[in-house]
Amino acid sequence: MNDVSAPALIQPANDRSVAAAGARLRTGQLVAFATETVYGLGGDATNDRAVAAIFAAKGRPSFNPLIAHVADFDLIETLVQVDDRARALMKRFWPGPLTLVLPRAAHSPISLLASAGLDTIAIRMPDHDVARAIIRAAGRPIAAPSANRSGAVSPTTAAHVAESLGERAGLIIDGGPCRVGVESTVLDLSTPIPTLLRPGGITADQIEAVLGQKAQSAQADASAPKSPGMLESHYAPALAVRLNAEHAHAGEALLGFGAMDCTLNLSPTGDLEEAAAHLFAMMRALDRAPFTALAVAPIPEHGLGAAINDRLRRAAAPRS
């Protein structure tokens, strides 16, 4: 038996495993690791392909924007725009279970797929030595949703991650059971009135005590029933979108898939992970003059194709 070439899926957190995790992340591979809230499935937040691999491993039928995890305060302003409110909350609660949604900085290196094409980025600094050591070893922000298959409960031990994701996790760094056990609070600061998008480890009262202002609750504030997904703002192209196009009509840009003549190609070889990685950047590149509309080639519905088609159908839906 040769166990040298096949390291165990779960490794205890130590200098060697953390260095190995950093090396994997730098080459676009995934690593699951402990945070104080739940285990995260991490990938390089600046690498579209690594982020596409996260969505593929989770098996999620749609692209939800992900949180960029950082280990230190320096360089944060190269990722997001930090105002006085954000600075005060970071000072009080970071590292800790508070995620802030902030406007994307000009030239932010964060993957557009990680933010689902939005102009805002969710960012947090986990209160866990193993998580921060891995982020430092990677030397870049790490995108990390909870390390479970879509629809399953969030994992709070390394064994949970292995049960849910198995080999899809790539490598699991065991940092013990999670102290908080529920996901971080998500607070949107991209608007004048702070909006609580997800309750979590830090309470609304704790936030109000720092801001001197109540955060409005995205849920309680509803004047009309909210449909699932309504809280998520979605990137919508300015140009009209036509789906399942084999050819461009006059004036249209054609976003292709597989071997074909087109303006830009999501994946000439028909690779759905590559297509996901390119989706938002290419939609944005074509969403402008001289084009008058955006036509998109048919995308197969299997694997990440389901999430790509979900996003394309939203982009093509009639606008009100």
Quick check: 197 binds ligand TXA (CB under 6 A)? Answer: yes
Task: Tell me whether residue 22 or residue 65 sits nearer to Mg ion (CB atom).
Answer: 65
CA nearest neighbour of 200 among 211, 189, 186, 214:
186
Task: Tell me whether residue 37 or residue 47 sits nearer to ligand TXA (CB atom).
Answer: 37
Q: Which does 184 bind (CB under 5 to 8 A by kind): ligand TXA, Mg ion, none?
A: ligand TXA
Q: What does each C-alpha distance from 316 to 62, 100, 131, 242, 254 come to in angstroms?
A: 15, 30, 39, 6, 14
Supply angle C-alpha 101, 29, 138, rounded to 5. Answer: 65
Residues 79-98 that bind ligand TXA (CB under 6 A): 97
Say which DSSP state 271 is in. -
Are the CB atoms for 142 and 42 separated by under 8 Å?
A: yes
Residues 128-147 that bind Mg ion (CB under 5 A): 146
Site string for ligand TXA, 36-55 (x = CB under 6 A): -xx-x---------------
Quick check: 157 binds ligand TXA (CB under 6 A)? Answer: no
How distant is the alpha carbon of residue 33 from its chain centre?
16
Quick check: 115 binds ligand TXA (CB under 6 A)? Answer: yes
Are the CB atoms for 213 and 83 separated by under 8 Å?
A: no
Residues 146-185 that bind Mg ion (CB under 5 A): 146
Task: Tell me whether residue 54 or residue 312 sits nearer to Mg ion (CB atom).
Answer: 54
Shortest distance in whole angstroms from residue 272 CB to ligand TXA: 20
Say which DSSP state 104 is in. B
Q: Which of 21, 101, 262, 299 binds ligand TXA (CB under 6 A)?
A: 101
Shortest distance in whole angstroms from residue 51 CB to Mg ion: 15
User: For the range 239-242, what are the long-range contacts, defined as Cβ-Cβ under 8 Å and sequence gap of 24 or more?
Assistant: 239/286, 239/287, 239/288, 239/291, 239/292, 239/293, 239/294, 240/293, 240/294, 240/316, 241/293, 241/294, 241/295, 241/296, 241/312, 241/315, 241/316, 242/293, 242/294, 242/295, 242/296, 242/316
Q: Which of 103, 141, 145, 155 binds ligand TXA (CB under 6 A)?
A: 145
CA nearest neighbour of 299 among 236, 255, 257:
257
Task: Tell me whether residue 164 or residue 265 sits nearer to Mg ion (CB atom).
Answer: 164
Residues 247-306 that bind ligand TXA (CB under 6 A): none
Shortest distance in whole angstroms from residue 59 CB to ligand TXA: 14
Task: Tell me whether residue 126 or residue 141 sits nearer to ligand TXA (CB atom).
Answer: 126
Shortest distance in whole angstroms from residue 13 CB to Mg ion: 22
CA nearest neighbour of 90 among 107, 78, 102, 103:
102
β-pair type (252-256, 264-265) = parallel
Shortest distance in whole angstroms from residue 231 CB to ligand TXA: 8
Binding region for Mg ion (CB under 5 A):
146
In the complex, the residues that contact ligand TXA under the rule CB under 6 A are 35, 37-38, 40, 64-67, 97, 99, 101, 115, 118, 120-122, 126, 144-146, 183-184, 186, 188, 197-198, 232
